[in-house]
Amino acid sequence: MNEGWNLDYKENIAVITINRPKCMNALNTKLVEDLDEILTKIENNREIRVVIFTGSGEKAFIAGADIDQLSTMTPKEARYLIEIGHKVYSHIENFRVPVIAAVNGYALGGGLELCLRADIRICSQNAKFGLPEIKLGVIPGWGGPGKLASIIGVGRAKDMIFRGKIINSTQALEYGLVTEVFTSVEELQRGALDLAHEIAEKSTITIALDKKIINNALNKSYIPDPEMDALALAYCFTTEDTKEGVKAFIEKRTPNFKGR
């Protein structure tokens, strides 16, 4: 058992489970660094044909960044987190085999941004999706805005991001954010493995080529900019609005943003 994550193998399928249920599987710097190592380990295993990402429990896939860490983060630390996160998420997007995000519960902030880099997204009926960072006075720092727009459209993406709007599984299916909704987390887990086994039976060479062609076509209209995201988020942590947003979240009150 590892702190924050589990890695299991189901024949030629690797299952990565984010395992921090006490904090809704929130991401911190250590966990993101660990994911970088896990992905490299899996990629070096030529027997693996599909990867599944999921979260432990029924409440959350990944409910965003760890607020305890955010509340004390310096601009330098924020920039590093953005840089290592972009590295990991780019690795997911360009992984040599298909990646499935099996979303159980909340996929918010960095959790949704991870989903957006997966090749296929499926979810349980209780799933919720959003990039609510604006309520904290920060930006989604791992390429989420552009990726979300490329999947669900510019208008819907701006509506979600500007309002900090969270959508349910029915809306996610309607938007094309997910391809299938399961009635329970147990059904989702079975469905994810069934889907993975079906894909694993196909030619890995053909799938890799198809994936590259599709990603290249999408990236012609949108290429993530880690430098811009890092600078923008680091700047957020110099502002009073970000301090107020994080403080208000911890105190469970509405933030009073001053625009400075």
Contact assessment for residue 242 and residue 136, using Cβ atoms and an 8 Å cutoff: yes
pTM of the model: 0.85
User: Residue type for 51, please?
Assistant: V
Q: Judge whether 113 counts as a catalytic residue.
A: yes
pLDDT at 3: 74
Q: What letters, b where the CB count within 10 A reaches 16 and e where it falls short, cover 130-161?
A: bbbbbbbbbbbbbbbbbbbbebbeeebbeebb
What is the pairing mode between strands 4-10 and 13-19?
Answer: antiparallel
* Active-site hit among 43, 77, 83, 133: 133
In the chain, what are the domain boundaries? 4-200
What is the pairing mode between strands 180-182 and 120-124?
Answer: parallel
List average pLDDT for each run of 10 residues in the chain, which is 260 residues long. Answer: 86 97 93 95 95 96 88 86 92 96 97 97 98 88 92 97 97 98 98 97 87 79 62 72 74 74
- 4-200 belongs to CATH 3.40.720.10: no
pLDDT at 150: 92
The encoded tokens of residue 140 equal 């989604």
pLDDT at 223: 59
The conformational region for residue 14 under phi > 0 = left, psi -120 to 50 = alpha, else beta, is: beta
Report, in angstroms and rounded to the nearest whole number, the Rg of the chain calculated over CA atoms: 18
pLDDT at 256: 77
Phi, psi values for residue 218, rounded to 5°: -70, -40
Q: Judge whether 83 counts as a catalytic residue.
A: no
* Active-site hit among 43, 113, 186, 227: 113
How far is 43 from 23, CA to CA, in rounded Å?
Answer: 29
User: Residue type for 157, please?
Assistant: A
The encoded tokens of residue 113 equal 């941004």
Bridge partners, 124 (sequence order): 182
What is the pairing mode between strands 120-124 and 60-62?
Answer: unpaired
